[in-house]
A and B are shown apart, each in its own frame.
Chain A
Amino acid sequence: MAFKTPTELQYSKTHEWIRIEGDEATVGITDYAQDALGDVVYVDLPEVGARFEANGVFGAVESVKAASDLYLPVAGEIIAVNEALVNNPELINKDPYGEGWIVKIRVAPGVGALMSADAYAAYVDTIKH
C-alpha cells in the first residue's frame, strides 16, 4: 500500500509532518502513522502558549490498542490547537494532512532533523514490510 506524502511538506522520523510558512508552522501525523495506529479515538492536545524543544513530546494520539507520543519536529510555541479533534479524533484518519492537523506553532530557532517527502517515503519503505 502506498501512503501519501505531499511534496510541499517536511517530515520527521517519528512520523509527524510540518508545513512551515514564515515563522509559523502547522503540524500533524503522516498518512503512514495514522494507518499504523488504526482508528484514532483520543488526542491529548497541549495548552496554547506551551513551549517545546525540537523533538519534545507535545501530546499523544491514542487508538483502542495504544498511545503514541507526538514529537514537535522543530522548537516552538503552541499558538493554536485543532479543537475539532476533541470530539472528532477520527479526522486524523480521514484527512491527516488537512482537517486532521494537530497544532500550529510559532517556530523558534533550533530546527530538528527534517526530511523531504521523497526521503520520508524511502524511510517508511525501510520500516514497513
Chain B
Amino acid sequence: MSETVGLRRTPLYERHLALGARMVAFGGWEMPVQYSGIIEEHRAVREAAGLFDISHMGEVEVHGPDALPFLQYLVTYDVSAILPGRANYALMCRPDGGIIDDTFIYNLNDYYLIVVNAANTKKDVAWMHECAKGFNVTVSDVSDQTGMLALQGPLAEALLAQVADADLAALPFHGVMQGRVVHTPAIVARTGYTGEDGFEIFVAAEDVMRVWDELLDAGRTIGLKPCGLGARDSLRFEACLALYGHEITEEINPYEARLGWVVKLDKGDFIGRQALQRIKQEGVARRLTGFEMVGRGIARSEYEIRDLEGAPIGRVTSGMPSPTLGKNLGMGYVPVAFSTEGSEFDVVVRDRPVRARAVKMPFYRPRYKKN
C-alpha cells in the first residue's frame, strides 16, 4: 500500500486525493481504486453516469501515407473497415499468435490514434517502431501530452451535451469526432470499457483538470460519481471485456480468448497471420470460459481450476461478486470440453474445491447505443 515510489501520476492526482480516493499502484501509475466505494460507483455507471480518469492509458498517433498499410500489417483487425470518424477494437499479436496488447484504433481522417494499455505502452511503442521499418509513417507516443477521461452510463450523453460543442446525438456507437468540451479542443468517441453507453474524451494534458472539474460539477444533480479502477474492473468484468494480464497475455492467442472476430485472416498479410490461420484450422485446446460459483466461495485471479476428479485443468483469470447480478462469477481458461454452458468443475478457494458451472458470456448484456 505504501509502495508508490517511482510511480507516475496523472494531472488529476491532487483532485483524486481531495475527493478522498484510495490510491493504488496500477501498471506503473498511482491511480484511484475507489472514492466512495466500488459498489456505489459501479451502480452509478449502470444507473446514471460515472467519470473515470484514464489518463494513464497510452496514446500513439500514426501519421503518413503508409498509415493504413502499416496498421494492416501491425494488427489482426481489418483497419480498412474502420472508416473516417470510426473506431474499433484491434489486437497486436506476435508472429506465433500470442497477444502483445489489445488496442482501440480511432480513424481521425488524416491520422490514426491508437489507445494502448498503460502497463504496455513502452513495449507497444517499441514494437510499433520496430514494425514500422519500411513503411512511410511516423509513429509518435503522445501519452504524456494527452489526458483521457471516460464518461460512462445511461445519462452520459445528456450530461456531456451540456458542456460539449459537438453533435453527440449524431455520434454512432464506436464513432469518433473532433469538437470542443468545456471550450477546450477535444476528441470525443462513443467508446468505453463498462458495457454501458458512454464516451471517451481526449484533451491536452494541461486541460484535463478543467474538463474533469466541469463535468463533475455539471453531473452533480443527476448522480454522476467519480469512479476508480475498482469499478472500472467490476464493470468490464460483468460485460466480459478482456483485461490485459488476465484474460489476454502473450501466451494466449485470440481464438482461445474468444476474440476470433477481431482476426481477419482474409485481409492480407499481417504479423501472426500464418500462426493464427493454423491455430484456427487445428482448433484450440483451451478456451476462455465464464462460470458461476455454485458452492460458497469467490473465485479470484490465479486460483486453480480442477475437474470433478480433482485433476488441475486451468486457472481463473478474473473473478468477483458481480455487483449488478448478485452472483459470484468468474472467467478462466479450461479445456474445450469444459467450456460449454452447464459444464461443471471446481475452483480451489483457500485449499478447498468449490463447485462452479460454466455460463454464457457476457454475464451482463451491454447497453450500447446502436441504431
User: A residues engaging B (CB < 8 A)?
Assistant: 36, 38-39, 41-42, 44, 57, 60, 62-67, 69, 126-129
Interface: B172 (CB within 8 A): no
**A67–B330 Cα gap in the complex (Å)?**
14
Residues of B within 8 A of A127 (CB): 1-2
Q: B300 near A63 (CB under 8 angstroms)? A: no
- Which residue of B is nearest A86, CB measured? B296
Stretch at the interface among B30-38, B48-56, B93-101, B239-247: B30-38
Residues of B within 8 A of A41 (CB): 39, 321
Q: Considering the complex of A and B, which 10 residue pairs feature the smallest CB-CB distances, nearest first?
A: A64-B38, A41-B321, A65-B230, A39-B39, A62-B298, A39-B37, A127-B2, A64-B234, A64-B320, A67-B300
Interface: B344 (CB within 8 A): no
Known A36-B22, A60-B350; judge A67-B34 contact (CB<8 A): no
Interface: B292 (CB within 8 A): no
A61, chain B: closest CB distance, angstroms: 11
**A64–B328 Cα gap in the complex (Å)?**
10
Main secondary structure on chain B at its contact with chain A?
A: mixed
Residues of A within 8 A of B1 (CB): 36, 127-128
Residues of B within 8 A of A57 (CB): 350
Residues of A within 8 A of B349 (CB): 44
**A39–B321 Cα gap in the complex (Å)?**
11
Q: A128 near B2 (CB under 8 angstroms)? A: yes
Q: B300 near A38 (CB under 8 angstroms)? A: no
Q: B320 near A129 (CB under 8 angstroms)? A: no
Known A38-B34, A129-B2, A129-B23; judge A44-B39 contact (CB<8 A): no
**A39–B37 Cα gap in the complex (Å)?**
7
Residues B195-219 near A (CB distance < 8 A) = none
B354, chain A: closest CB distance, angstroms: 10
Q: A67 near B37 (CB under 8 angstroms)? A: no
- Cβ contacts A to B, 24 pairs, < 8 Å: A38-B22, A38-B34, A38-B37, A38-B38, A38-B230, A39-B37, A42-B298, A42-B321, A44-B349, A44-B350, A60-B350, A63-B38, A64-B38, A64-B39, A64-B42, A64-B320, A64-B323, A65-B34, A65-B234, A66-B300, A69-B350, A127-B1, A127-B2, A129-B2
**A39–B230 Cα gap in the complex (Å)?**
11
- Which residue of A is nearest B297, CB measured? A44
B246, chain A: closest CB distance, angstroms: 13
B315, chain A: closest CB distance, angstroms: 15
Residues of B within 8 A of A60 (CB): 350
Residues of A within 8 A of B350 (CB): 44, 57, 60, 69
Residues of A within 8 A of B323 (CB): 64
A34, chain B: closest CB distance, angstroms: 12
**A126–B1 Cα gap in the complex (Å)?**
11
Contact of B38 among A39, A42, A62, A126 (CB under 8 A): A39
Interface: B233 (CB within 8 A): yes
Q: B2 near A65 (CB under 8 angstroms)? A: no
Residues of A within 8 A of B34 (CB): 38, 65
- Which residue of A is nearest B1, CB measured? A127
- Which residue of A is nearest B234, CB measured? A64
